[in-house]
Amino acid sequence: MAAEAKLSHTAAMILQALSAGYVYGFSIMEMTGLPSGTVYPAMRRLERDELIRSQWERQSIADAEQRPPRKYYKLTAAGRATLEASRKRYPLLERLIATEEAKTT
Amino acid sequence: MKQPSDLLVSVFDAALLRSASLLVPSIQREEWRREWSAELWHVRRSCISVDDTFSWEAQREITGFCLGAFPDALCLRSQPAKGNPAPVHVHGSATQTLLWLSAALALCFVISRLLPGVEAETEAARYQIKPTVLLVSEAAADSTQPSISAALYQNWKITRQRFFQELAFYRISREAADAGRVSMPWNVAHSTTNLFSLLGLPIKYADQRQDTDFSLPAVILSHDVWMRSFAGDPHIAGHVLRIGHTRVRIAGVAPAGGWQLPGAPDVWLLESDAQFASEASSRTNGYLFAQLSPRGQAAMSGPGISISALNQDGTAIDMFGAPIVAPVEGPWGIYEFALFLALVALPAVTSVSLGDTHVSSHRPSMKQRLNRVVFLGAKFAIIAAIAFAASLDLAYSNTLGYSPLAECLQLLWCFTICLFGFRWAVADQRKRCPVCLRRVTNPATVGLASRTFLGWNGTEMICMGGHALLHVPSLPTSWFSGQRWLYLDSSWDFLFADSCVY
């Protein structure tokens, strides 16, 4: 996957949300306001192109909190580079979903 | 404690997820279901209030979330599984063309298997009357007319024969037949029981039933009558019908080749010699068949044999015995002839050149050239097979049995399909990239016809795989008479690289 792949605004928003610490599907839905039928397929494609990767939460953590384990997503290096390129393309992206660093500064 | 309506909606949501999971490839299904179940748990927890009261708005939101599982499942389904190669782009490819041709071939063969006329023609060609059997008739008479009296046959039968080792006879009479549902006049051939064995024709669907009344005279149906009056019922043997005033049992069906016999019999009523002698009038004329003995075969020269015999009253009569020449060519013979004609006529309707002129010094590899030849050969082979099956389908679509007209139609259709099919195959080959065998696309007109003497004009097409450009001149000139291939180097690759845009 080329680092300079052009992302749609939706895919860029999802990458930005992941970068901002929203690491599972439902939280991204809540943050972006996108429906589940958009968010999850987009994450499949991003994962296929190795811009994000997923990891299951440990069972012991989920058991301790008496809930089913969740699948977490995080950006890869290629994903971070693509997000940087997308931020230049969509300058308002960071204002829509502020990252932790942006919040603290 | 959950309310019943809440429980009902939960079951509905779970059913939605389970239905959507069926769309997911089985290898990913379990993990997909686990992720969506976990997410649903969190969605429910987020949407439903702390006191657990039922809210339609919350339930609608949860169900909306579950409906999103379907696009997700479809997305996963359309993605290639990890470790599997990406799907090959088959649009306009050699594979797609061969698949379409193969599908057409399979369809034509299935149809030909269902048409009774095709089966009849195959049978007519397979079951030919023995060449050592002669049809004996008076020399002065037409052999298609009955000229031998039953009495003469009886006389010959009991007399020692020099050139013949066996004789058979039948006479035709027009009689009303009643088969229960159908009642119509038939050409009934009263024949000796050895007729079919002497001619070398098998009896199909012979009676194997235990409850058949074998005391009744046996009757053999012609293929046409079997198809027309009994709808080709393979279990017809053993049924009883009435011919004239006689009750008879159906003993089997004659093969389609039976039409070659003179008198065009609809049925053969097999009668013992005793029945035959008592029933047949000595004046009734019929057809006499004789099986040549080895001595007779040696004596026979030319198309037949002249026989001098004595009549019952002692007068000498001249007779002539001729083999029953079967005009049935059979589907393969016609097909081979049509195929030969089409191959001979092909250069008259198209140029057989494949346009292999190259502008650059680059040449396809030996493997690519071999693939191209194999592909062209495969197209020719499949088209030739389609022509065989489709011509039979078209010729016998309205014919239940064998007919010479259908054979003519088969020849015509076979020739037409072969000729134009081969023409298409050659034209299609010229428009295929020599490297990847995909059809070139995106035609662009270059130059103006009015400037032919100043520069090149024609059409350019490009291979979507980025391998080559095809130049086809509008007007062939002395310096540009045929199409040319220009191979593209690696500097063109960026135009054809798959971009990943969401």
Confidence of residue B326 (pLDDT cuts 50, 70, 90): low
B416: pLDDT strictly greater than 80: yes
Please report, for chain A, the start and end positions of each structural domain, with discontinuous segments joined by +: 9-96
A26 Cβ under 8 Å from any chain B Cβ: yes
What are B80-138's pLDDT values in tens digits?
Answer: 655 454 444 555 788 889 999 999 999 999 998 888 778 777 777 777 777 788 888 87
- How much is the pLDDT for B383? 95
Residue B99 counted as domain residue:
no
Together in a domain, B63 and B195? no
Together in a domain, B44 and B155? no
A73: pLDDT strictly greater than 90: yes
A3: pLDDT strictly greater than 50: no
- How much is the pLDDT for B258? 57
Within 10 Å of residue B435's Cβ, how many Cβ atoms?
Answer: 20
B41 Cβ under 8 Å from any chain A Cβ: yes
pLDDT, average across residues B345-356: 79
Please give the interface size between A and B, counted as residue pairs whose CB atoms are below 8 Å apart: 79
Using the beta-carbon criterion (under 8 Å), do B39 and A26 form an inter-chain contact? yes
* Structural domain ending residue among the three candidates B323, B344, B369: B323
CA B444 to chain centre: 41
Together in a domain, B258 and B181? yes
Tell me the pLDDT of chain B averaged across its residues. 80
Q: What is the DSSP letter of B139?
A: T
Question: B325 vs B133, B134, B258, B321, CA distance in Å?
Answer: 10, 10, 13, 12
Using the beta-carbon criterion (under 8 Å), do A68 and B500 form an inter-chain contact? no
Distance between CA atoms of A4 and A94, rounded to whole angstroms? 19
CA A61 to chain centre: 22
Across the interface, which of B38, B42, B500 has its CB nearest the CB of A5? B500
A59 Cβ under 8 Å from any chain B Cβ: no
DSSP string, A51-102: SEEEEEPPHHHHHHTTS---EEEEE-HHHHHHHHHHHHHSTTHHHHS--HHH
Least trusted range by pLDDT, from B13-22, B110-119, B179-188, B349-358: B349-358
Contacts of B42 in chain A (CB under 8 A): 24, 26, 67, 70
The range of the structural domain enclosing residue B492 comes to: 441-496
B501: pLDDT strictly greater than 50: no
> Among A1, A4, A23, A40, which would you mutate to test the B interface (most chain B Cβ atoms within 10 Å of its Cβ)?
A40
Contacts of B43 in chain A (CB under 8 A): 26
pLDDT, average across residues B6-23: 85
Across the interface, which of B38, B72, B501 has its CB nearest the CB of A40? B72
Query: Which is more confident, B141 or B391?
Result: B391
Residue B29 counted as domain residue:
yes
- How much is the pLDDT for B470? 87
Contacts of A42 in chain B (CB under 8 A): 502
Query: Which is more confident, A69 or B210?
Result: A69
Residue B435 counted as domain residue:
no
- How much is the pLDDT for B106? 95
Second-level CATH architecture of A9-96: Orthogonal Bundle (1.10)
Together in a domain, B33 and B168? no
Residue B396 counted as domain residue:
no
**d(CA B3, nearest CA chain A) in Å:** 21
What are B285-295's pLDDT values in tens digits?
Answer: 888 888 888 87
* Structural domain ending residue among the three candidates B13, B46, B78: B78
Residue B389 counted as domain residue:
no
Using the beta-carbon criterion (under 8 Å), do B79 and A6 form an inter-chain contact? no
- How much is the pLDDT for B477? 76
In B, minimum Cα distance to A10 occurs at B502
Using the beta-carbon criterion (under 8 Å), do A71 and B38 form an inter-chain contact? yes
Residue B388 counted as domain residue:
no
Residue with tokens 């953590």: A61
Question: B452 vs B12, B444, B463, B479, CA distance in Å?
Answer: 73, 17, 26, 11
Tokens of B337: 């002839």
* Number of compact structural domains in chain B: 3
B257: pLDDT strictly greater than 70: no
The answer to whether B133 and B291 have CB atoms below 8 angstroms apart is yes
The answer to whether B222 and B177 have CB atoms below 8 angstroms apart is no
B39 Cβ under 8 Å from any chain A Cβ: yes
DSSP string, B81-122: PTTSPPPP--TTSHHHHHHHHHHHHHHHHHHHHH-HHHHHHH
A79 Cβ under 8 Å from any chain B Cβ: no
Whether complex ipTM tops 0.95: no
Tokens of B116: 């009774």
Taking the model in full, what pTM does it have? 0.54
Question: B480 vs B363, B413, B483, CA distance in Å?
Answer: 19, 38, 8
Together in a domain, B145 and B26? no
Contacts of B37 in chain A (CB under 8 A): 68
A58 Cβ under 8 Å from any chain B Cβ: no
Using the beta-carbon criterion (under 8 Å), do B72 and A49 form an inter-chain contact? no
What are B138-178's pLDDT values in tens digits?
Answer: 766 676 788 888 878 877 887 777 778 888 888 888 888 88
> Among A13, A36, A54, A67, which would you mutate to test the B interface (most chain B Cβ atoms within 10 Å of its Cβ)?
A36
